[in-house]
Amino acid sequence: MMRLLKQIKTAVFPLLILLITACNLPTELDDAIITPESTAVVEATATAVPPGYTRSNPLPGHISHTIANWEVEILDSVRGEKAYHAVLAANQFNDPPPDGWEYLLVRYRVRSLYAGEDKESLGLHVSGDGNVLHYSFNSSAVSPDPMLETYLPGGAESEGWEAYLIQIGEENLIVMVDDVSNYEEPEQYIALAEGNRVTVNEELLNSITPTLVGTDPSEPAPVGLVITTEDWQLSILELYSGEGAWNRIIEANQFNDPPQEGLVYILVKMRLRYIGLEESGELVHLHSDLFTLIDNDGNRYDVPSIVEPEPELDGRLFPGGTLEGWMVLQAPESIIPESRLLFKPRTNSVDNLRYLSLGDYGR
């Protein structure tokens, strides 16, 4: 049979060439014969992320690094009781750390590589395996001498201490370096100690399944129940209103104003955990403005402008990060039992929108 097919091909092929020529069809063999497309597999080569651009592969500490338009070097660090005593010695009015928190002091040497006399800003923040970003200004503490200057003209240099509040037991501390004056430059990371690195457990976060609790405004989630959305887990830990709320608010800051006439304060302590996986490990900003108080008629009540008790509900989280904090609301006391707290984050808000009950408001 194979021999017969070969004879047929031998006889037919010359006739095919004659037919192509007669019809003014392409005479090049490559034009006349259709060949199958190449099946070779081209493998995409992933571009390796250089050291310093992720918390899983930070730059080594205690050597000088050029990052964007700055030279940055970590010289020393101290935490816990020793750090608190140093902070207290720097200023007797520095507050003790809130429950569950401790002071961290980091000594840096920085130099601006900008040209000219205009001052530029450098941000030096800290994070660890708690997956929360800690700003130095969040501590509200006066740092020991010499204090670091991070707002410098071109060519200027500073050496000194920055004070942070970190969670007790938080390890694998890493410094985030942010050239605040240059938005096009990505942040970079320096390990505070040799071997420090943080890797997000994506498998664990992906295994958490959202629930429907709190999705119906007529059935808000009760106080104390953990709600799981597409990107968040959240719950109300403590709740006060009226005199109980006001006493804690005036204790937090003696200059806080009383509530508006006809309204009472509502003081809520929340716990939130970010379980989403933003591309490139992007940070999300958590603040009390993600919550809105709504009554049965759909009226919304603005968050008052006052100083909340510490810790306030404000921070930036990496995937897996958990934050607890206080926020203050105000509304007529009569509407509170039937009101709802709407949670509407900026991350995929349709799948994350939830309603929480304030039914246990009377404490």
Question: Of 191, 213, 242, which marks where a domain is finished?
Answer: 191
**Domain annotation covers residue 69:** yes
**Domain annotation covers residue 343:** yes
The total number of structural domains in the chain stands at: 2
Contact 147/101 with Cβ under 8 angstroms?
A: no
Residues 184 and 208 in one domain: no
Residues 299 and 335 in one domain: yes
Mention every residue, 6+ apart, whose C-beta is less than 8 A from residue 206.
277
Domain residue limits at 323: 204-357
Residues 227 and 335 in one domain: yes
Give the model confidence (pLDDT) of 116-174 as tens digits. 999 999 999 999 999 999 998 888 899 999 999 999 999 999 999 999 999 999 999 99
Average pLDDT estimate for 289-297: 92
Residues 219 and 250 in one domain: yes
The whole-number pLDDT of residue 46 equals: 52
Count CB neighbours of 319 within 10 A: 21
The whole-number pLDDT of residue 360 equals: 64
Average pLDDT estimate for 322-347: 91
Give the model confidence (pLDDT) of 173-201 as tens digits. 999 999 998 888 899 999 999 999 999 88
Question: Of 158, 191, 224, which marks where a domain is finished?
Answer: 191
**Domain annotation covers residue 240:** yes
Give the model confidence (pLDDT) of 93-113 as tens digits. 999 998 889 999 999 999 999
Give the model confidence (pLDDT) of 229-278 as tens digits. 999 999 999 999 999 999 999 999 999 999 999 999 999 999 999 998 86
Residues 229 and 133 in one domain: no
- What Å distances lie between residue 255 and 96, 258, 289, 305, CA to CA? 20, 9, 22, 12
The closest alpha carbon to 358, from 260, 240, 218, 228, belongs to 240
Residues 180 and 216 in one domain: no
The whole-number pLDDT of residue 39 equals: 41
Question: What CATH number is attached to the domain comprising 287?
Answer: 2.60.40.1240
**Domain annotation covers residue 363:** no
Residues 229 and 334 in one domain: yes
Residues 335 and 256 in one domain: yes
The whole-number pLDDT of residue 347 equals: 64
Average pLDDT estimate for 337-352: 84
Structure token pair of residue 95: 């507050």
Residues 210 and 336 in one domain: yes
Q: Answer with the residue of higher pLDDT: 212 or 280.
A: 212
The closest alpha carbon to 142, from 163, 121, 167, belongs to 163
Q: Distance between CA 229 and CA 210 in Å, rounded?
A: 5
Out of 39-48, 73-82, 283-292, 317-326, the most confident range is 73-82
Q: Distance between CA 20 and CA 32 in Å, rounded?
A: 8
Residues 185 and 246 in one domain: no
Please give the single-letter amino acid code of residue 340: R
Residues 213 and 351 in one domain: yes
User: Quick check: 286 pLDDT over 90?
Assistant: no
Question: Of 191, 222, 249, which marks where a domain is finished?
Answer: 191
User: Quick check: 6 pLDDT over 50?
Assistant: no
Residues 183 and 156 in one domain: yes
Average pLDDT estimate for 28-41: 38
User: Quick check: 12 pLDDT over 60?
Assistant: no
